[in-house]
Structure 1
Amino acid sequence: MPVISKVNRTLFDLDLLRAVVVVADCGSFTTAAARLHSTQSTISQKVRRLEDMVGHRLLVRGNRDVLPTDAGQTLLGYARHMLALNDQMLEALAGARVGVTVRLGVPEDFVGGSTTTALAAFARQHAQVKLEVTSGLCRDLSQAYDNGELDLVLLKQRRNARDSVARWPERLQWVDSAHAPAFGLEPVPLVTFPPRGLYRDDMINALEAMGRAWRISFTSSSLSGLQAAVADGMGISLLPPRAATAMHRVLGAREGLPEVDSYEIVLVHRPTADVMVKALAEVLGDLLHSAAH
């Protein structure tokens, strides 16, 4: 019986595998090129070379981003493993630990408290993971994720605005100052996020439906700025309960204000995300599930 030689079997170039993995993670050749400090044409050539080697199309352009084919999904699993082994070998030879970086984006009102406690526990459990946490407005976090700058994002959005791996309803409440109420003023002063910010249109529509005149008295991109403005009597606002303090008074049906229940909290990561990204998503998912119940 003839013996099949293994000498001439194809050896995969880790540089090519890394190019495909990064493009799949970013969902974009342009963003992948920037992350790899290369050019888009170079990254495209590497992907084509790998496709020629395996004899399959690995990536296709979708409506909004680049997606792996079935063959691409299969290759990505092995590629990640091979790249991880390569890093482990370097770690062993260098005597240093090579970690995985997970870039997380969260809204400002989720910074601190139980969220930070959960992140700290995750970091202790996975010492090889480097967490990079960015907080800000949801529209900025969403854009950063779409640009490939974040691996996992926690977002507040109108229901079903974008696909997610998990979602929960977002409770909101009207708040006024506890010591210098502003709701009785005419026109009603409103404390809001900037134009296109969350809840702004809902506040305006609710007051107009009540026949109340209104004016924007204070605008800020900072949640802490809004909290302070309401507490000091600058106006009323619409915020999640976790953002209310002892300096605030909750308003509602007694004042004729409607319940606003058109928002949700979502977790978003790419289908091809690293296993540590998915592990962190599970931790945050458990936290949000507990808070919702």
Structure 2
Amino acid sequence: MNRTPLDLGLLQAFTAVVDCGSFTGAARRLHSTQSTVSQQLRRLEEQVGASLLDRRRRDIRLTAPGERLLGYARRMLALDAEVAEALSQANAGATLRLGVPEDFASGRITGMLAGFMRAHPDMTLEVTSGLSRDLRRLYDRGEFDLVLLKQRRGTGAGVSRWPEPLCWVDSASHPSVDGDPLRLVVFPPNGLYRDEMFETVESLGRRWRIGYSSTSLASIQSAVADGLGISLLPARAVLPGHQVLGPESGFPPIETMELAIHHRPEAGPLLLELAARLARLVHEPEKARRHR
């Protein structure tokens, strides 16, 4: 036998009338009107096919079907509240997994993440930093919910994308730019900027060799500052111990990279909020650079 499931809203109105002893009191409890509560009760009676209140009396008195339904109604409403509480706790205890490039893993991003956690104190946030190639591989394997990646322009991938300004950098105190062969400080094979460095230096007719290689951005930065060679780094990664090499030094600008945020289409509201905060963090420095 097919029948329409009982409406929890109607059951709530029914129990409120019984508990308050009047339609007026039930309307106040439910932040509704007396006529609305009365209509809800009649709709419930139509659903169950029986009168629930003895309307021959001025006070609220249940009929026999009303007495039987009341116990079930309270149990159904209690179970609904229990489900809502369980889901609320599950959401509050959720874990979001974020992957960011190493040069984003400190400084302003930690302040942004701290603000996000203050807004959602029961959440767990797992942040992993590393090379974009590794972050992308882990994201594709489902090990991240949200990633900020560096990628070559024109790929069309990502829910948000921004240009990533790059700088040729040398040591301010022990420059290597005039060395022959020119020493390069690079990330490992398949690392970002590596091919751009090789192609550009060769196009300048310069002999070169790898002077230092590391997977760590901090190590690359230190190697350049200490005079182990020049490198190609994001503008945000330039340190006081570096000097920027521009066209006047024979090094053309490189504009092949971009930053992109990736998350899956089914992302929930908390993940979308975190993505929006991350997007603002990335966008603001770029906006400031354009208006200098």
TM normalised by structure 1 equals: 0.69
- 1:243 maps onto 2:237 in alignment: yes
Name the structure 2 match of 1:196: 190
Q: 2:173 aligns with which of 162, 176, 179?
A: 179
Give distance in 2, aligned partners of 1:159 and 1:106.
18
1:149 aligned partner: 143
* Cα offset, 1:160, TM superposition: 2.9
Runs of 4+ residues deviating >4 angstroms: 85-88, 95-98
CA distance in 2, matches of 1:105, 1:143: 11
Could you say which residue in structure 1 is the equivalent of 2:224? 230
Give the fraction of aligned pairs with identical amino acids, expressed as a percent: 49
In the other structure, the counterpart of 1:89 is 85
Distance 2:185 2:83 in 1: 50
The partner residue of 1:136 within 127, 130, 147 is 130
Separation (CA, whole Å) in 2 of partners of 1:180 and 1:241: 20
Specify the code of the residue in structure 1 equivalent to 2:85. M
Q: CA RMSD in A?
A: 2.2
- SS in structure 1 at match of 2:176: coil
Matches within 5 A, 1:28-177: 88-90=84-86, 98-161=92-155, 163-177=157-171
Unaligned runs of 5+ residues in structure 2 are 7-80, 288-292
Q: In structure 2, do the counterparts of structure 1 residues 181 and 86 end up closer, same or farther at CA, with 3 Å as the change threshold?
A: farther
Q: Which residue of 2 aligns with 1:257?
A: 251
- 1:58-85 alpha-carbon deviations (Å, 9 max, x no partner): xxxxxxxxxxxxxxxxxxxxxxxxxxx9
- Give the match's secondary structure for 2:112: helix
The structure that has the greater radius of gyration is: 2
Deviations 1:69-114 (A, max 9, x none): xxxxxxxxxxxxxxxx98753378xx99841111000000001111
Change (3 A) 1:175 1:96: closer
Q: Which residue of 2 aligns with 1:208?
A: 202
Matched, 1:274 2:272: no
Query: Structure 1 residue 127: deviation in Å?
Result: 1.7
Deviation for aligned residue 1:5: 1.7
The 10-residue stretch of structure 1 (160-169 or 257-266) with the greater mean CA deviation from structure 2: 160-169
Determine helix, strand or coil for the equivalent of 2:196: helix
Tell me which of 267, 271, 284 is aligned to 1:290.
284
Residues 208 and 190 from structure 1, CA distance in 2 versus in 1: closer, same or farther, beyond 3 angstroms?
Answer: same
SS in structure 2 at match of 1:133: strand
CA gap of 1:281–1:98, structure 2 versus 1, over 3 A, is: closer
Task: Tell me the distance in 1 between the aligned counterparts of 2:91 and 2:148.
Answer: 29
Deviation of 1:128 (Å): 2.9
Offset of 1:289 from its aligned partner?
1.3
